[in-house]
Amino acid sequence: MTQRVTLKVNGRVEAIDADPDMPLLYALRNELGLSNPHFGCGLAQCGACTVHLDGEPVRACATPVSAAEGAEITTLAGLGTAERPHPVQQAYIDEQVPQCGYCVNGWIMTAAAFLKRTKRPSDEQIRDALSGLKCRCGTHLAILRAVKRAARAMG
């Protein structure tokens, strides 16, 4: 049954009418026009839909919109801007990582949360933190370079 759901997304408060069980991803993309989180598998398996809830990465395709009420939701658009990119976004540019770009949202959102809590990570820690993500274009070595670059920038 549809009810009023209030979401705080990238610092703005938004109210929508939605089934509380609807995936957060649908609310962000279809109701609020935020197209960075992508629909990949829809089964919490690829990470393309990742957003932050209170700074922690979650898979928006498998998160009911009601579970996001009261949380600070951050999408890729809220992480950094073209003028002031987040260090992971800047590293993606510097390392020219994307090919098709479909997966980029998930890797950057996951890496940004990981690097915030893990300073100077080892390659193994980076691989572990990102192990649940998929890139069908096979950009994994470039991603590793970019995350290491971002880690250096974030101290």
Q: Which residues are near ligand FES by CB under 6 A?
A: 39-42, 44-49, 59, 61, 98-103, 135-137, 139
Q: How far is the CB of 10 from ligand FES (least distance, A)?
A: 19
Beta pairing class for 56-59 and 72-74:
unpaired
Q: How far is the CB of 133 from ligand FES (least distance, A)?
A: 9
Choose between 5 and 92: whose C-beta lies nearer to ligand FES: 92
107 burial (CB, 10 Å; 0-12 / 13-18 / 19+) is buried
Choose between 101 and 122: whose C-beta lies nearer to ligand FES: 101
Choose between 75 and 139: whose C-beta lies nearer to ligand FES: 139
Q: How far is the CB of 113 from ligand FES (least distance, A)?
A: 15
**Length, in residues, of the chain:** 155
Q: How far is the CB of 42 from ligand FES (least distance, A)?
A: 5
Q: How far is the CB of 155 from ligand FES (least distance, A)?
A: 27
Complete DSSP assignment for 76-144:
HHHH--SSS--HHHHHHHHTT--SS-TTHHHHHHHHHHHHHH-SS--HHHHHHHTTT---TT--HHHHH
Choose between 9 and 135: whose C-beta lies nearer to ligand FES: 135
The closest alpha carbon to 66, from 101, 111, 19, belongs to 19
Q: State whether residue 74 is helix, strand or coil.
A: strand
Choose between 15 and 93: whose C-beta lies nearer to ligand FES: 93
